[in-house]
Amino acid sequence: MTFTLLLSGISILSACSDPMVQEMENYQEQMDDLHDINEEVTGHLDDIDSEEIINQVSSMDSASGEDEFDNTAAELEGEALPLAETLKEEAEAVEISEEEIQEMHEGFIESAETKHDFTKQLSDYLITYQDSLAASERLIALSQSFMENQGERDDLIENAGDEEVVREIDMLIEQLNENSEELDAASDVLEDDISMGNKQEQIDEVLLPMLEEHVESLNMVNLSTQQANRVRSVSLEMYYGYQAYYEERKNTMLYNEKLQNIQLQNILSLQESYQKMDEEYWERMEELKDGE
């Protein structure tokens, strides 16, 4: 009788434990591919050196880390992000009936979502940061071009010897001075303490149309001498450079405002968050497999 009762007890225990065992087996089968994707995503993200990114951004040295930032941003956007999106979507689609396994899996989903957020936010930040550096470099190049054109124009004016050349260049100088006064007054607004939107509006609605008018005003001056025509040509190149300069100023404003609104440290802290979640998930997985 005792033996019969013992067998019955074992049967009851087996019957109680079988659903959990079966559910864990089903869960692991569903998760095999997802675990592989998770490992691949994590491989991309764990290689990111958060401290190096902070140091690079703080130093504002565009030359020393430009290639590294480009490579990291490209890897995040082109490889890690599609995988992270797949991981998140498929993790949310896993069906589980046992409450304990469901609770454990919620941790996996949260980790997948955190990886996705980390990947997307850091990719966006690095791309914007690189765009900002590139725009600043283009502004510097345009400024250098202005100075070169200004130097050539000054030389042409200084070396004007023929009376007709002098007369025509004087006409150009009069028009250039008038244009310059208008442009200086309009561009000073960009240095005022006003919103970025107002500055962009000043560029779009005042400065760029003004430069178009300045180009027209120079083209309307009647010239016959080669030297005066060269002065006009160089001046027109400067106006086209101004147009490119102010377009780039708008881009720089956008990039800088976006960077100011992003807390890099908060993005990078997500790396430690998902690592902790993963550790807790695998610990709980082992516990449930062992029947704890």
Max mean pLDDT among 9-23, 52-66, 99-113 falls in 99-113
Q: Work out the burial of residue 246: count CB atoms within 10 Å of its CB; fewer than 13 is exposed, 13-18 middle, 19 or more buried.
A: buried
Which distant-in-sequence residues (6+ apart) come within 8 Å of 237 by Cβ?
145, 149
Q: Quick one: tokens of 200?
A: 């962009």
Contact between 167 and 223 (Cβ < 8 Å): no
Q: What is the pTM of this model?
A: 0.80
Looking at residues 217-243, what average pLDDT do you find?
94
Residues 242-269: pLDDT tens digits? 999 999 999 999 999 999 888 899 999 9
pLDDT at residue 1 is higher than 90? no
pLDDT at residue 10 is higher than 50? no
The three-state (H, E, C) secondary structure of 31-66, written as one string: HHHHHHHHHHHHHHHHCCCHHHHHHHHHHCCHHHHH
More confident residue, 197 or 13: 197
Helices and strands (DSSP H and E) totals, the chain: 10, 0
Contact between 65 and 56 (Cβ < 8 Å): yes
What are residue 225's phi and psi, to 5 degrees? -90, 145
Residues 113-171: pLDDT tens digits? 999 999 999 999 999 998 998 999 999 999 999 999 999 999 999 988 889 999 999 99
pLDDT in the model for residue 68: 76
pLDDT in the model for residue 15: 43
Long-range contacts of 197-201 (CB under 8 A, 24+ apart): 199/253, 200/250, 200/253
Q: How confident is the model at residue 51 (pLDDT cuts 50, 70, 90)?
A: confident
Q: How confident is the model at residue 292 (pLDDT cuts 50, 70, 90)?
A: low
Which distant-in-sequence residues (6+ apart) come within 8 Å of 110 by Cβ?
277
How open is the CA angle 169-144-178, to the nearest 5 degrees? Answer: 35
Distance CA 210, CA 213 (A): 5
Q: How confident is the model at residue 65 (pLDDT cuts 50, 70, 90)?
A: low
pLDDT in the model for residue 57: 83
